[in-house]
Amino acid sequence: MPVHSDTIGLSHMRMDPDLIRTILLELEALPASADPIRGQNWLTMTYDDRSKEDISDHIRLMGEAGFIETYKVPSHYGTFWHPVRMTYKGHEYLNSVRSDTVWNKSKELAGKAFGTVTIEGIKAVLPYAIKAVLQGAGMQ
């Protein structure tokens, strides 16, 4: 018997750290006055190469990780997750991976060390990535 979920696309998605970083950067750029819940004007994020379901699942995962607050909106197509705001934890993570150079070095090191690139892997190698970037810039 198949397992059902109220979240569409759940069984076909792979978490993409690049998409998570992109969503965090976009959320950070929103004006502080944005209030998607009260106005029911849900923040809808679209990316050319991503389905609505994939984006919704990443937003759900980011909420579970504590990076953002989310709001789920049921529809006759399933449940879509929308971002409400970034949390302190989300801001801290984004600040640590904001630099494209540090981000790319972190992904490279995490891939080499763990065979895959995950958020936890990126967090684990961040100090080494920062050190490598600094050494490359002649600062250590």
pLDDT digits (tens, 9 = 90+) for 104-131: 999 999 999 999 999 999 999 999 999 9
Task: Print the domain residue range for 20.
Answer: 10-93
Pairing of strands 68-75, 78-86: antiparallel
Number of domains into which the chain is organized: 2
Closest CA to 56 of 87, 10, 89, 24: 10
- 65-84 pLDDT, tens per residue? 999 999 888 888 788 898 88
d(CA 112, CA 64) in angstroms, rounded, equals 26
Co-location of 49 and 72 in the same domain: yes
Q: Are 61 and 107 members of one domain?
A: no
Q: Name the pTM for this structure.
A: 0.79
Same domain flag for 110 and 83: no
Q: What is the CATH number of the domain that holds 84?
A: 1.10.10
